[in-house]
Structure 1
Amino acid sequence: MGDAWQQAIETRRAEKDEYFATHPRSPIPPDERGSFEGLAYYPIDEDYRFELSLHEYDEPERVTVGTSTEGEREYLRWGEFRVTVDGENVTLQAYKSEPDDDRLWVPFRDATSGEETYGAGRYLDLEEDAHRTDEGSWILDFNEAYNPTCAYSEQYECPLPPMENWLEVRIEAGEKNYR
């Protein structure tokens, strides 16, 4: 598989670090930006990158998801990914905000949450144009897992991964804890 996908991830990580360090809309609190040295990540690992079918539901169900500020948001449970991670069969639900969205939201918690990674969980955003193959499969790459903005500052409200996406397996890929 070439290393272009790895280079793309490294480039996005560097761009995110620059944005977090310097941009006025950075989620890093202003008093911490001067000492911000970049985010911590697991090394990029091909074993956490999968090409999968999305098992779409015939009738996506509306679900209510709690947020970090005890609020709620609604999503459509659009389908599920079935994958084997470190010998464990895992099912991850994929959500959409609206039926015509071109993006799937895949929030999850795993056995690293609260230790090496953000306790509330991490997100994957799968854009049709970037994460869909010509054959119709989806690229689910945990190396792209990132923390929600509430991991950096309590001023943000973030949807929390539903319990159906709490995994018992360790996902040692993507972004680590901020502090």
Structure 2
Amino acid sequence: MNKRNILLVGVLVVVALAFVYTLTRTDDPEVYVEKIERERDRQFKYLKFNTESPLSAEQKRDLQELDYFPIDPAYRVRARVEPVQNKKMLEIPKTDGSVGKYIKHSYAVFELKGVQHRLLLLQAANEADKRNFFLAFNDKSNGEGTYGGGRYIDLRQDGQSSITIDFNLAYNPYCAYNPNYACPIPPAENELSIPIFAGEKDYEL
């Protein structure tokens, strides 16, 4: 084998290994936990100190921490994205009787706890980055440890036809803290048949 062929084989091996690594790599457990904790800390600081926080001055004063389930990597799933063929604008009802406009964009299909699920991914009508999605969902823990009106996750598509959904990042809508806020109600197709013991727990008013 001449030098040119050896070099070519070497390059192909490196490319193949890089491809396999990309498909199989997982975050270091400590790095993963730190990432979730940073996001939770960001959420806490926003609610505690931001002028646009839904909390009253009294609530801000009393808030010492948000209540979460322990971080569990089993609730981080890879979902197949199935685009909606005829995308259309949906009017999603809000808790105050008004509506929010979202594009019915795709379905995320995945397996969790031995059950296959299919959730609707929404996209805000004015979303500039078409890789960003909004997931509003209900599950069997609602009213039994989590907010009765469901929870949200902000998603970003990270594959050509796949997306990562991490329920450890599930957070409460503003109306969980302040009933005067108008919050999108999770669509009927986003009712999970299992409890999701991950993410933020209910907030006690």
- Give RMSD over aligned pairs: 1.7
> Match of 2:89, SS?
strand
Gaps of 5+ in 2: 1-25
Where does residue 122 of structure 1 map in the other structure?
151
Asked if 1:154 is matched to 2:179, the reply is yes
Count matched residues.
175
- Corresponding letter in the other structure for 1:152: Y
Pick the aligned partner of 1:140 from 162, 165, 176.
Answer: 165
Asked if 1:21 is matched to 2:48, the reply is yes
Distance 1:138 1:90 in 2: 14
- Corresponding letter in the other structure for 1:41: Y
CA contact (8 A) 2:54 2:178 kept: yes
- Corresponding letter in the other structure for 2:122: Y
Pick the aligned partner of 1:109 from 123, 138, 142.
Answer: 138
Structure 1 ranges of 4+ moved more than 4 A: none
Comparing 29-38 with 41-50, greater Cα deviation is found at 29-38
CA contact (8 A) 1:52 1:81 kept: yes
Where does residue 80 of structure 1 map in the other structure?
107
Task: Tell me the CA shift for residue 136 of structure 1.
Answer: 5.1
- Corresponding letter in the other structure for 2:188: M
TM-score, length-scaled by structure 2: 0.79
Task: Tell me the CA shift for residue 162 of structure 1.
Answer: 0.8
TM-score, length-scaled by structure 1: 0.90
Where does residue 84 of structure 2 map in the other structure?
57
Q: More helix per residue: 1 or 2? A: 2
Sequence identity, in percent? 30
Q: More strand per residue: 1 or 2? A: 1
Gaps of 5+ in 1: none
CA contact (8 A) 1:21 1:38 kept: no
CA contact (8 A) 2:82 2:161 kept: no
Comparing 18-27 with 65-74, greater Cα deviation is found at 18-27
Distance 1:68 1:167 in 2: 20
